[in-house]
Structure 1
Amino acid sequence: MAIFAVFALYVAFLLRLLLLSRAPGSERSINLIPFASIVKYLSSQSSGTGRVAFANLVGNILIFIPFGVYVAWLRRRATPWLTILAIVSVSVTVEIIQGLFAVGASDIDDVILNCAGGVIGIFTFRLLSSVVRDASRVRTVMAVLSLLSLPVWCYFLFIVRLRM
């Protein structure tokens, strides 16, 4: 139960961050050219852009690592490709919703970075599973890690004011 409860809290945080942190109609931009935003961020010489670039590039990867871990755990019998497809589907859906409701920038680079984070999460879970091996111990480790991350997700969900 702990794993599902913390996963639900994490998903609520993702929804708040990705879809509810901006007023509807506040921002609408679309980038369908792969790596255009990434190259723009990496090649910018502006000091102010550096912080935004770091938050965008690293943040999009980091925020989907737990998603990859949880999806891999929930779909442990599925092939890695089907698990990656689930992550891609969620990321693309988020970008479409952001574009439709103008609550963020719809960017193919966000999908690429989110999927990179999800794949890192899948590999992290696979590594954990190969080290621990026993399914009940993997579940125990997942529960402990979930409970340890609980204060982090509560902090981000309930305390931090997301202004983007």
Structure 2
Amino acid sequence: MNRWYWVLHGMEPLFPPVDWQIQWDTLQLTPFQEIIRAFRGPWVMFLMVANIGIFCPIGFFPALLWRGWRWWKSALVGLCTSVFIEFVQFFIGRSSDVDDVILNTAGTLVGFWIFWLINALLPQLTIKFQCTTKELPGYG
């Protein structure tokens, strides 16, 4: 039987005990080490592109929905979300890497740039999705 059978039946933990020595030994806090390594192999390049791509919606959709959304807001949301994810990963036995934070934040900026480009080319399309305040009857 596979691992998920045992996890779903409560016979094995979802996250096995963490080997803290391995976590500390594999913690990657030197910026751009994995990003530079990505140019040497297709798998690492795929991971780099995936880290950027998966965070594009975090930069795109808030800008699409709210008027006055700025690039730095997307970068801040992406940075905070990515730091939180990497922090949690450290405690559940997954690798934590500062390059993931850099790439994820870059992904939010790519998402914002895509919004900006669509908004510049098709402003009538993006206006349809923006949140507006609706006056309730009897309230101002």
Give the TM-score normalised by structure 1: 0.58
Q: Is 2:126 the partner of 1:138?
A: yes
Q: Distance in 2 between matches of 1:83 and 1:75?
A: 12
* Preserved CA contact (<8 Å) 2:57 2:111: yes
Match of 2:69, SS?
Answer: coil
Change (3 A) 1:139 1:78: closer
**64, 71, 75: which is aligned to 1:73?**
64
Q: How does 1:40-119 map to 2 (within 5 A)?
A: 40-43=37-40, 50-102=41-93, 104-119=94-109
Runs of 5+ consecutive residues of structure 2 not aligned to the other structure: 1-13, 131-140
Residue 139 of structure 1: how far off its partner (Å): 5.3
Give the TM-score normalised by structure 2: 0.67
When Rg is computed on C-alpha atoms for both structures, the one with the higher figure is 2
Match of 2:27, SS?
Answer: strand
Residue 30 of structure 1: how far off its partner (Å): 1.3
Runs of 5+ consecutive residues of structure 1 not aligned to the other structure: 1-21, 44-49, 143-164
> By percentage of residues, which structure has more strand?
1
- Aligned CA RMSD, in angstroms, stands at 2.5
Change (3 A) 1:95 1:74: farther
Residue 128 of structure 1: how far off its partner (Å): 1.1
Q: How many residues align?
A: 112
> By percentage of residues, which structure has more helix?
1
Q: Distance in 2 between matches of 1:90 and 1:35?
A: 19
Change (3 A) 1:74 1:84: farther
Match of 2:95, SS?
Answer: strand
Structure number with the bigger relative contact order (C-alpha 8 A, sep ≥ 6) is: 1
